[in-house]
Structure 1
């Protein structure tokens, strides 16, 4: 599954010999991830090719003459596409070569040395778990440490994730981003310019039916209960009045099992809510409150007249989407950490034989895209499991066995664009039926 890498800016820097080189600012999910030179990425690509060969996407070629402005822009775009495509292969991103390089460039960019530190990881009930880690430990490693400390069964760790979460005094919260497995939580926390940010532990699936996979583990059940209570208190869940009263009574009795059973019947249980934003439907400038989960995008739209409309977009009818960076970087020669968050996510929706684009203007466009991809991957995993159960091999004497056909290549369902590239790429994002390989 491709990741949200982009290189919106590059800078020329003097080298030790009096010449100049280009330093590329690489962003992941809209946040500064690292700054690297072309030569560093080229050596990394060579190391990866010794292991993975032609599995890798093409790497931008070297230029032996001075680059023009157009050539420099083209290389930046090519490096951006390379980083997006190289992360589409799970075997590559799980390799030591991949992780070790990205660990080093993250540390180097932020001038962080490898040392022991204590990291506070917030739980949904407001408590924090203190873990002893290295500054160079990845999110995958930190998650394993936290899970071990909580007594979470190792096979269930993948149902949870570490998130960058912004906390507000009144108890509200905003999920800023999901940390990728190879990100360094310590570095991400240091580099973020978002106020009151913490590293938080939350479940990372959007199909409520998956709760059943975790209920036999006491630690997992405790975490699900904590998050359900938190979502109830901050009004991410939408219970009826009768459900609300019953949930309060069960919470007071600390009856976790019954609380979770009832929660799964509540509207928007297990959904992730985004901060208030705007959209273009049914007319430009409408306010929007989005929540994502259970294979749908739920949107409460406030019209200019003050009236509200509730719309649910089913993921089975979402044909493609793209995140577009509309703004410019602030202080491009300074220590910027986040993009000027002038972002939009637009998705193509098919209903009753008609198609239209729905545009959402939100600072959380990258995180919203991650949620959409998560729902797609969960749906594909469920379909694959159902198909494998239906396929029963019946031996036939003399029957010729054909090798399994290769899945057709599908166009990617997600694009990241900058405003200057919108017209060029507007027609490049339509996909048909997805396959697991397409993710």
Structure 2
């Protein structure tokens, strides 16, 4: 859970905007978080991180900035513990916040969940159903073995005018797909099911299930082999960037400022085809085990809805035994 806070005062109370993976997720007041923290402590005791204290005097700008930083750190620490994130008190709290923020009441509806080949399943849902619940329903309808559900996830996908698709983010298990989709209604987005892991060797775990093999098969587009699906997947694994997620072109400062990059993410690396200002092409692979630390900076949003966001991914990388910071500007930071 990556969150950012931008204060807005409503009727005397500061309203914080919470961003999940760079997209507006919900809005919340300090008092709501304080009450929720007390609920968590009654259930989980000392396992709950320290909550930012109240201020009984008017907050200065520096105090407000400190509180924002503390609240962000608190939520990030809370979301690390699966026993908390899987609890009813966690899920119900963020369910209500997400619905209240986008003014969507709980009611019967339907949701189209797309496969990688453009086909979709229309499923009956409650607007308050979580991504975990929706994924279970989809898996049941397509007869995906229950033991293999964990290898797949729901994603928010942008549909461009030229027919290209961009994977914007993986939906968190406690996120409400219907609400998240409605929050992006001004842009052509859809919910899709895809494998979520980046290690191609895990494909072997799915080969004994017809449905999982079909899902893998249709996710690898643009090929036409007159062989069985299993043979096709074995052949496809020999192709460069098999199993990787392709990101939209973006700007970067490696090896110099003013470069653009075509990026594939997977198998513990960020593989880049970088175009230099001189129009020369440079192939680079950033290995994850050579990254010492990283940070995501939310640089702003034109509308506040997410698709107009400006995000920067910076990581410190061991480049030829020298540590240096490398930056990419992309909407799809969460995928990396």
TM-score by length of 1: 0.74
Are the counterparts in 2 of residues 29 and 366 from structure 1 also a CA contact under 8 Å? yes
Asked whether 1:255 is paired with 2:228, we answer yes
Q: Within 5 Å, which residues of 2 pair with 1:350-369?
A: 350-368=318-336
> Would the alpha carbon gap of residues 254 and 134 (structure 1) be closer, same or farther in structure 2, given more than 3 Å must change?
farther
Alpha-carbon displacement from aligned partner over 1:354-390 (angstroms, at most 9, x marks no partner): 211111121222332xxxxxxxxxxxxxxxxxxxxxx
Of 10, 13, 18, the residue aligned with 2:10 is 13
Are the counterparts in 2 of residues 193 and 337 from structure 1 also a CA contact under 8 Å? no
Taking the aligned partners of 2:307 and 2:80, their CA distance within structure 1 comes to 24
Taking the aligned partners of 2:324 and 2:63, their CA distance within structure 1 comes to 36
Task: Report what 2:2 is aligned to.
Answer: 4
Q: Within 5 Å, which residues of 2 pair with 1:111-150?
A: 111-150=103-142
Of 65, 83, 90, the residue aligned with 2:82 is 90
Task: Report what 1:317 is aligned to.
Answer: 290
Of 7, 20, 28, the residue aligned with 1:36 is 28
Asked whether 1:53 is paired with 2:45, we answer yes
Are the counterparts in 1 of residues 4 and 298 from structure 2 also a CA contact under 8 Å? no
Task: Report what 1:107 is aligned to.
Answer: 99
Taking the aligned partners of 1:346 and 1:71, their CA distance within structure 2 comes to 27
Taking the aligned partners of 1:326 and 1:168, their CA distance within structure 2 comes to 23
Runs of 5+ consecutive residues of structure 2 not aligned to the other structure: none
Taking the aligned partners of 1:326 and 1:167, their CA distance within structure 2 comes to 24
Are the counterparts in 2 of residues 29 and 367 from structure 1 also a CA contact under 8 Å? no
TM-score by length of 2: 0.96
Taking the aligned partners of 2:280 and 2:259, their CA distance within structure 1 comes to 10
> Would the alpha carbon gap of residues 355 and 83 (structure 1) be closer, same or farther in structure 2, given more than 3 Å must change?
same
Asked whether 1:199 is paired with 2:172, we answer no
Give the CA deviation at 1:341: 2.0
Q: Within 5 Å, which residues of 2 pair with 1:29-428?
A: 29-192=21-184, 195-228=187-220, 230=221, 233=222, 247-248=223-224, 250=225, 253=226, 255-327=228-300, 329-330=301-302, 336-338=304-306, 341-368=309-336
SS of the residue aligned with 2:309? coil
RMSD of aligned Cα (Å): 1.5
Total equivalences in the alignment: 336
Which structure has greater helix proportion?
1
Are the counterparts in 2 of residues 175 and 274 from structure 1 also a CA contact under 8 Å? yes
Greater Cα radius of gyration, structure 1 or 2: 1
